[in-house]
Structure 1
Amino acid sequence: MSDLVFASACQLAQMIRDRQVSAVEVLDAYLAQIAKHNSKLNAICTLDENNARSAAKQADEALLRGENWGALHGVPITVKDLFETAGLRTTAGSISLKDYLPQHDATVVKRLRSAGAILLGKTNVGDLAGGYQGLNDVFPRVNNPWNLSYTPGGTSSGGAAAIAAGLSPLDLCSDFGGSIRQPAHFCGIYGFKPTDRRVPTTGHIPEVPGAPHCMRQMLTVGGLARSIEDLSLCLQLIAGADIAQPDISPVPLDQPSDRLLQTRQIAWSDEWSFYPVAGEIKSVIQSVATKLTEAGVTLKKWVPNFDFLAAWQTYYKLAAYNLIYAQSLAASDIRKQLSFLFRDGMQGDRNFRKLGNLPGIGLPISLNPTLKGYFETLTERDSLIAQMDEALTQWDAYLCPVAMTSAFTHRERGTAIQVDNRSVPYSMVSGAYVVPFNLTGHPAVVIPIGKTQNGLPIGMQIVGKRWQEMELLAIAQDIDQVVGGFQRPSEY
């Protein structure tokens, strides 16, 4: 059973098609793994066992009739509890939505079901897509399968823990400020954030039900998995125009060039100015550069000619404009957000607090949003996108850290975190290396590359050109074969 639940989604789909295993047998294996481990991880917050079992039986019967539902026929998947699922509660980790039963599937959920996937359940999140941990007031906190005293990251917290522990082969999730990439890094798995506006977000919370469509920039939908092949398949199934969301362009996916990795031009950094990275992470990234060089790959240590400080400020200004009307207006949710901003702005070394300054960036906009300010922020974003586009022109891919640290111990949101001997504000630790690419919209893959001395995973971010996701995934696959590879936590 343990080998079956750690097979990739693509492998499982092939095995089911070839009648090596039935969809019911696959489902039973995952249900057994969930029963054994989920109570200590709290990764899956809503299990849809009865409907999943019925769908698995129907999948097997369909194959007997010669019917194939699609690329994921009979494969169980999980979905982040921010996506609406028809008739299955979608809480977004908020008390105000704890009993919310959507009438329709989110567009991306519908597309995966149409490809034959079976919805196994919903995965736990940070409350209303907030914070870099799996903390909310509806379900117990999510724990990291590598060490239960540590967070799996967030907000795709339960998804990352579930994938790492063999509770699911593929998790559909979202990334507004690193919510796919940071958990992938913390849990030793693969994560992918596509180009901004590549995949529809219809049916994603936020926006909370009844709110206007506000999340028009930076929110992306992707996946968490144990292989890049699964991430690639997921993208091919969920990408594309949506009649319900006309700002999703009907841009076809690119075709990878099939060039050898040794012919690529790859840039890498182990640290940016202003944002210190833990020594253990820098050392592992440096070892990656060494391995790739020994494999004949052309690498150059490089930092983009890009205003990272301006990107930080512009990201949080635009996030404030996106979220002000999209978030819950429940008093408890507002109090929680204000408490978080106060802690984040007051903890950590003084110089880092001045650089981060989330209260100073976000609160004035939240209290007095203006149309002029919104357009000025979009104009700033346009300039920074052009900067990053120009910087990446000469490279096929760019390698850099995902976060300043590996997984940290559970704590109250906003509490400062030690990066070696420096105390750094909470949001900066996990956000500094990911939010620039939310702002600019560039696609990014995270692959596992090693571990810390105390056995926690370390991931690496691989960034590519906008609208060239398939090329980026092909490059990431080649890099992964040299330096990476999923390893399961020892107790699973």
Structure 2
Amino acid sequence: MSSLTFAPAHQLARMIRNREVSAVEVLNAYLAQIAKHNSKLNAICTLDEENAYLRARLADEALAKGENWGALHGVPITIKDIFETAGLLTTAGYIPLKDYVPQQDATVVARLRTAGAVILGKTNMAELAGDYQSTNSLFPQVNNPWNLDYTAGGSSGGSAAAVAAGLSSLDLGNDIAGSVRQPAHFCGVYGLKPTDRRISTAGQIPEVPGMPVCLRQMMTVGCFARSLEDIRLCFSLIAGSDIRRPDVPPIPLDNPSGKSLQNLKIAWLDEWVEVPVASEIRVAMSAIAQTLTQAGVQIERWLPKNFDLSKTLNLYGRMAAYINIYAQPVDRYNLRRSWQQIFRTATQGEKELRKLGDFSRLLPDLLNPRLKGYFEVLTERDRFTTQMDEALEPWDAWLTPVAATPAFTHRPAWSAIEIDGRPYPHAVANGAYTMPFNLSGHPAVVIPIGHTQNGLPIGMQVVGKRWREMELLAIAQELDKVINAFRSPFEII
């Protein structure tokens, strides 16, 4: 039975559809896996067993009558606790929302329900999606399934841990600074951040209910899975325009070119000069470049001309300041948490590295936001996106690290992280390789490429052209066939 919990979602859907196994049997397998492991991982914070059983039984009855709800008919999934779920507790790990039960699903949740998914429950996360670890004041911290002493990442740590440990077949996350990609890298699963505004954010916190919608740039909805085919399936189900978000354009999904490995032109980089990665990540990236070269891929070490990481991260920070200033609740508790984040990133870590990720430089914009300043930042962002579009045009994809470090041990929020003997500011270590692509809006998928000597996963970021996610996923799938590094942290019995 436990082998069912590590089968890909699309395979489970086919097995249920062909009556090889019932939806209730699959649900039972997942609930057994959750009972066995979740108390150690704290990946699932709210379990909805009663309604999941009702939905699974209805799924089996529908098939018996010849009805098929969709591509995920009867397949158990989980949802990050940042997305509203009708009739099911949604807290975003934030104390004022500890009893919040929405009346309506987030758009992406509704689309997965329509496709036949069985929602097991909600996955744990960083409070209001505001950290690279998944800790909050409502639920226990999320532990990494590869080593419980290590973080699963954030803010979607519960999502990545649940998928890695076989507690869920798919999970939804959101990503404004790496919240899908970093946990996928830390937990050894696949994760997608799509093009900016490709997927509706309706029904997503951290804009708490009743507040205006402020996160209109850089915030994306993504997904986690144990296969790229499942990522493709989930993405295709949730992407598209939405009457609740008129700014999501009705752009159809692209058709992959079908290029063979030998016809791909791939750029790669093992580290930014300003933010060196852990030696084991650099070695893994170099090994992948060599493996792909031997497989006939045209691959070249590359960095865009005139790419200035310091200016890019500064622009990202100013953009984030403007869109977050009114999105975050103004209460003593949240203000104290925010000031703690600013103080630690400004004072902890090596001085030169602090210059890249010092949030204190954003205080003028935070304390005195100006409409003109917001428009100036938007204009600069447009310019950067155009530059990245032009730079990436000759390439099919760009391979980069996901973060400067593999998973690290649990620590106080926003504390410095030591990498090969150097103390890195928290935001730089975790966000320097992800934030540029939130700023530019380009899609990126994380695939596993190996493990450290301590057995912790290493992921790689595959960046593609805007609005070309299906092409990006097709390329990633070709690369993944050669790399073939996905592993489960548990033995399948």
When normalised by structure 1's length, the TM-score is 0.99
Residue 164 (structure 1) aligns with: 164
Q: Which residue of 1 aligns with 2:354?
A: 353
CA distance in 2, matches of 1:244, 1:151: 35
TM superposition shift of 1:413 = 1.1
Counterpart AA for 1:459: G
Q: RMSD of the alignment, in Å?
A: 0.9
Contact 2:342–2:358 at 8 Å: present in 1 too?
no
Tell me if structure 2 keeps the 8 A contact 1:96–1:330: no
* Equivalent-residue separation in structure 1 for 2:269 and 2:197 (angstroms): 27
Moved more, 466-475 or 476-485: 476-485
Residue aligning to 1:482: 482
Structure-2 residue corresponding to 1:317? 318
Shift in Å, 1:207: 1.0
| 2:148 alignment partner, SS class | coil
Q: 1:98 & 1:329 partners in 2: Cα distance?
A: 17
> Hey, what's the Cα distance between the residues in 2 that align with 1:30 and 1:241?
32
Query: Whole-Å Cα distance in 1 between the matches of residues 193 and 372 of structure 2?
Result: 30
1:142-157 superposed matches below 5 A:
142-157=142-157
Counterpart position of 2:212: 212
2:194 corresponds in structure 1 to 194
Q: Helix, strand or coil for the counterpart of 2:151?
A: coil
Contact 1:349/1:425 (<8 A) preserved: yes
Measured after TM superposition, the shift of residue 485 of structure 1 is: 3.5
- Alpha-carbon offset, residue 307 of structure 1: 2.4
Question: Which residue does the alignment assign to 2:300?
Answer: 300
Aligned-partner residue type, residue 480 of structure 2:
D
Cα distance in 2 for partners of 1:281, 1:473 equals 22
Deviations 1:105-162 (A, max 9, x none): 0000000000001111000000001110011001000000000000000101100000
Rounded to whole Å, the distance in 2 between the matches of 1:490 and 1:89 is 29
User: 1:386 and 2:386 equivalent?
Assistant: yes
Q: CA separation in 2, counterparts of 1:374 and 1:484? A: 44
Q: Does 1:255 align with 2:280?
A: no
Structure 1 unaligned segments of length 5 or more: list them.
Answer: none
In structure 2, C-alpha distance between the alignment counterparts of 1:419 and 1:122, rounded to whole Å:
33
**By how many angstroms is 1:486 displaced?**
1.9
Q: Look up the match of 1:173.
A: 173
Q: Structure 1 residues 452-461 or 350-359, which shifts more?
A: 350-359
Query: Counterpart of 1:457?
Result: 457
Does the 8 Å contact 1:127/1:136 carry over to 2? yes
Q: What is the Cα deviation at residue 387 of structure 1?
A: 1.3
Q: Distance in 1 between matches of 2:185 and 2:223?
A: 13
Partner residue of 1:4? 4
Shift of 1:355: 2.2
Deviations 1:219-254 (A, max 9, x none): 111100000000000111001110111000000000
Take 1:436 and 1:135, find their aligned partners in 2: how far apart are those partners? Answer: 25
Matched, 1:227 2:227: yes
1:330 CA drift (Å) = 2.2
State the distance in 1 between where 2:145 and 2:350 align.
Answer: 31
Distance 1:364 1:21 in 2: 59
Consecutive unaligned residues of structure 2, counting only runs of 5 or more, are none
SS in 1 for 2:267: strand
Residues 392-471 of structure 1: pairs in structure 2 closer than 5 A? 392-471=392-471
Distance of 1:222 and 1:490 partners within structure 2? 25
The CA distance in 1 between the partners of 2:365 and 2:86, in whole Å, is 35
In structure 2, what is the Cα distance between the partners aligned to 1:384 and 1:308? 12
Query: How far 1:345 moved relative to its partner?
Result: 0.9
Instruction: Summarize deviations over 1:381-420 as a string: whole Å, max 9, x none.
Output: 0111011111101100000100000000000112111111
SS at match of 1:222: strand
- 2:267 maps to 267
Q: State how 1:11-160 maps to structure 2 within 5 Å.
A: 11-160=11-160
Deviation above 4 Å: which 4+ runs of structure 1? none
Output the amino acid matched with 1:55: R
Amino-acid identity (%): 63
Q: State the 1:491 CA deviation.
A: 5.9
Aligned to 1:336: 337
Q: Distance in 2 between matches of 1:484 and 1:187?
A: 16
Equivalent residue of 2:342, what SS? helix
Q: Distance in 2 between matches of 1:28 and 1:411?
A: 35
Question: Could you tell me how far 1:180 is from its partner in structure 2?
Answer: 0.3
* Cα shift at 1:41: 0.3
Q: Secondary structure at the match of 2:149?
A: coil
User: Quick one: distance in 2 between partners of 1:491 and 1:97?
Assistant: 37
User: 1:435 Cα shift?
Assistant: 0.4
Do 2:2 and 2:30's aligned partners in 1 also have CA atoms closer than 8 Å?
no
Distance in 1 (alpha carbons) for counterparts of 2:206 and 2:414 = 21
Asked whether the 8 Å contact 2:450–2:485 carries over to 1, the reply is: no
Give a deviation string over 1:35-72, Cα, whole Å, max 9, x none. Answer: 01000100000001000000000000000000000000
Q: What's the TM-score once normalised by structure 2's chain length?
A: 0.99
1:364 maps to 364
Aligned pairs, number: 491
CA distance in 1, matches of 2:136, 2:286: 37
How far apart are the structure 2 equivalents of 1:415 and 1:82? 24
Separation in structure 2 between the aligned mates of residue 421 and residue 143 of structure 1, nearest angstrom? 24
| Structure 1: distance between partners of 2:282 and 2:356 | 22
